[in-house]
Chains A and B, each alone.
Chain A
């Protein structure tokens, strides 16, 4: 554990260039994860209210109407 930490320090944190690189790369991954998480929470709270949750009902109905016509 301590060896891994010191290796991370030696290879990434010690030099400013690698530190910035790691921060930017981490920001990309963080963005993806954070967006997925918050979207999931939002969808979970609004379960059954969003268009993508009720779309199949209306899509089916409108298709049937077209067939009737």
Chain B
């Protein structure tokens, strides 16, 4: 009995009303007899609250009912009770009333608004991106205190004419030479084309009276000796490079002239290097 009820599944209510139920051939079920009270077990239709329950109420599959004289009856569902959703909260003012006028007229203004919103986003996005990139790039450059330490100020009055004085600048020797008039004349009259590293004297010296060069030999990095050598400028004792009074290589293995750092004369008698 128990086996019959459980196996017959949803057919059970129908079968219960009969005196004797015979199973079909596919299932080997022992026929059972039920003689109790017949209980109506048809489920009431679900309340149509959602689209799903509404669909549940619709007839699916072939409709069995037929009536009329030689014609089949139809079952029609007129959903007059279903409200059409109101989207007017979401519509633009221009197209609130769809029957009043054509939406083509207001198309450009509606699209303008949309593009304006997008354009505003692009503008602020560009500004933000630029600010972030600027921040990161500027963090890579040296800060103001480091830059201030990397400069030296030299009082030129202390250097007598014809003398070269050595200072320490960024860990390297710095030669400042107060040139005499003869030296200036000699250096300016040199044929630039004949030099190994052709550079005119006027390019290397802002003020012809003062020569400012980094005291590192361009050959292998020795420190040249001031006021020495065949050309009256600098002489590197390591491999015998001769520089003239403009710091240009004239003789020996060095390939380039002595390096000229960036410098300014902020006021008379003061030299600022760096």
Contact = CB atoms under 8 A, between A and B. Distances in A.
A22 B112 contact: no
A34 B131 CA distance: 12
A9 B126 contact: no
Interface stretch (B5-13, B116-124, B183-191): B116-124
Interface string B111-152: 110011001001110110010000000000000000000000
Contacts of A19: 115, 119
A10 B123 contact: no
A10 B112 CA distance: 9
Counting contact residues on chain A (CB < 8 A from B), the size range is 10 to 19
Most buried by B among A10, A13, A31: A13
Interface string A40-57: 000000000000000000
B109 to A, nearest CB: 5
Interface in B146-174: none
Contact of A9 (B109, B122, B123, B130): B109
A19 B126 CA distance: 14
Contacts of A22: 119
A8 to B, nearest CB: 6
A27 B128 CA distance: 10
A6 B112 contact: yes
Interface of B: 108-109, 111-112, 115-116, 119, 122-124, 126-127, 130
9 contacts: A9-B108, A9-B111, A13-B119, A23-B122, A24-B126, A27-B122, A30-B123, A30-B124, A31-B130
Given A5-B108, A5-B112, A9-B108, 18 more contacts: A2-B109, A6-B108, A6-B109, A9-B109, A9-B111, A10-B108, A13-B115, A13-B116, A13-B119, A20-B122, A23-B122, A23-B123, A23-B126, A27-B126, A30-B123, A30-B127, A31-B127, A31-B130
